[in-house]
């Protein structure tokens, strides 16, 4: 059987509220029974989940009051499962970003030490010499988050030093003893 558009619209659209005066109370139609309030009016509204009485108070059917405990437990457990998947991925990406920043800072510092040594003809005595000479604006942070933890490699052999009378810094590495995601300590980078 095929429905016309008029018949289909009349089935899908809810019926308007119909008020009837009742001496007992306001009532609304839910399924096959009337429900009522205390205002003395009866409301026939079809199968709508929410009805209003003539006094403006909203009447809710018993089944549409809220969520059940099982529904809440299911939703919370789904959220927890998603968090347990997302949280390790988030911390891993933060760790990779910190390691990439450390690699970049190490490369920058070692490159600036080499440029300083080529330009001045001697190695810098400390990392502050690089800032004072204008090669870098500030000393970058180590993976520990501090600028004070950098470990410097000093020139050992006077024959290979830039200036044998003034031995200085030939390189830099991290002062952190923590292990990287690859398993090697940051201090070995």
In the three-class reduction of DSSP (H, G, I as helix; E, B as strand; rest coil), residue 18 is classed as strand
Report the share of the chain in percent with pLDDT over 70: 66
CA geometry: angle at 140 spanning 136 and 145, to 5°?
Answer: 165
Query: Does residue 43 have a pLDDT over 70?
Result: no
pLDDT reported for residue 28: 46
CA distance 148 to 170: 17
User: For 52-56, 105-109, 143-147, which range has the lowest pLDDT when averaged over its residues?
Assistant: 52-56
Query: Which residues make Cβ contacts (< 8 Å) with residue 52, sequence separation at least 6?
Result: 17, 43, 58, 59
Q: pLDDT by residue (tens digit) across 75-123?
A: 999 999 999 999 999 999 999 999 999 999 999 999 999 999 999 889 8
94: its two tokens: 């933060």
Q: Are the CB atoms for 150 and 142 separated by under 8 Å?
A: yes
Is residue 186 exposed (0-12), middle (13-18) or buried (19+ Cβ within 10 Å)?
buried
Q: Are the CB atoms for 46 and 15 separated by under 8 Å?
A: yes
147: its two tokens: 């600028």
Phi then psi for residue 14, to 5 deg, are -75, 150
pLDDT reported for residue 77: 97
Q: Are the CB atoms for 40 and 22 separated by under 8 Å?
A: yes
Query: Does residue 45 have a pLDDT over 60?
Result: no
Residue 189 is given by DSSP the state -
Looking at residues 163-168, what average pLDDT do you find? 81
Looking at residues 151-159, what average pLDDT do you find? 83
pLDDT category of residue 151 using cuts at 50, 70 and 90: very high
Looking at residues 144-172, what average pLDDT do you find? 84
Query: Does residue 3 have a pLDDT over 60?
Result: no
140 torsion bin: left (phi>0), alpha (psi -120 to 50), beta (else): beta
């Amino acid at each position: 059987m095929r429905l016309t558009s008029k018949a289909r619209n009349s089935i899908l659209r809810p019926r308007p509220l119909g008020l009837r005066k009742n001496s007992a109370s306001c009532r609304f139609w839910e399924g096959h029974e009337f429900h009522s309030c205390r205002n003395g009016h009866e409301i026939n509204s079809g199968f709508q989940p929410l009805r209003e009485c003539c006094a403006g108070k909203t009447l809710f059917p018993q089944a549409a009051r809220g969520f059940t405990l099982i529904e809440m437990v299911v939703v919370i457990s789904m959220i927890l499962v998603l968090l347990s998947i997302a949280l390790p991925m988030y911390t891993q990406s933060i760790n990779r970003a910190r390691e990439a920043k450390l690699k970049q800072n190490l490369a920058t510092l070692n490159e600036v030490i080499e440029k300083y040594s080529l330009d001045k003809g001697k190695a810098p005595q400390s990392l502050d010499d690089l800032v004072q000479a204008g090669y870098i604006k500030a000393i970058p942070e180590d993976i520990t988050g501090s600028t004070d933890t950098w470990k410097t490699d000093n020139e050992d052999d006077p024959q290979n030093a830039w200036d044998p009378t003034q031995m200085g810094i030939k390189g830099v590495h991290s002062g952190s003893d923590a292990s990287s995601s690859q398993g090697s300590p940051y201090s070995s980078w």
